[in-house]
Amino acid sequence: ISFNSVDSSLSSLKNCQSYINTGMDIATHVALDLVESFNDVEDVNSMENVMLEYAAMDRELNHYMKAIEETVNQIKREKPENIPDLKYLVKEKFTALESKNNDSDLQKNEKYTYFKDQVKEMRNQFRHQSGNDNEAIEQIDEDIAVTQSQMNFICPITQMEMKRPVRNKVCGHTYEEDAILKIIQTRKQQKKKVR
């Protein structure tokens, strides 16, 4: 018995799983941006619900792929004379796997636990930072160092040649001093984190 079409279908399902993983990554980034923007707790909670939905889809997809693989392996082992009803056998195994589902399984999903940890860490970071606004402004001056160069630099913000370039000591990027200071002040006024 040839299982080429089944293998092809499994490959497509694995592609779907990669899309689910990408969706979970995007949901995590959106939630972190929401925390950073001091958005409503409800917005972050809605992203958590999205993550749980993705985890449920991932679990269902895993069960379906496992049911297919087990059925194919069973047929290869038993080598029946007549080809059995694959659809029925897969559905039977899938139903058995799904019947063991528990909501707590979803919260054990690797990407979901990562999401929870990142959101918690970001919230703690913001609580800690909001009390240190004056210190943060002083630290901005320490994080920017004036640089000198003989080359002509184009500022990534203004897209013009820099007259007073400054370099961020943390990341090493170089900017026009007035432009980067204006962005920093704007983000501070909007109560957003300065990266």
- Tell me the per-residue pLDDT of 147-195, one tens digit each, with 9 for 90 and over: 444 445 687 788 888 888 888 776 677 888 888 888 888 888 887 776 6
In CATH, the number for domain 151-194 is 3.30.40.10
Domain ranges of the chain: 3-130, 151-194
CA distances from 157 to 40, 42, 73, 81, 189 (A): 30, 34, 58, 71, 19
Label residues 4-27 b or e (16+ Cβ within 10 Å = b): eebeeebeeeeeeeeebeebbeeb
3-state class (DSSP) for residue 146: strand
High-pLDDT (> 90) share of the chain, % = 21
pLDDT digit string (tens) for 92-135?
Answer: 999 999 999 888 888 888 999 999 998 888 888 776 655 555 55
Residue 84, phi-psi category: left (phi > 0), alpha (psi -120 to 50), beta (remainder): beta
CA distances from 11 to 15, 17, 166, 191 (A): 6, 10, 50, 46
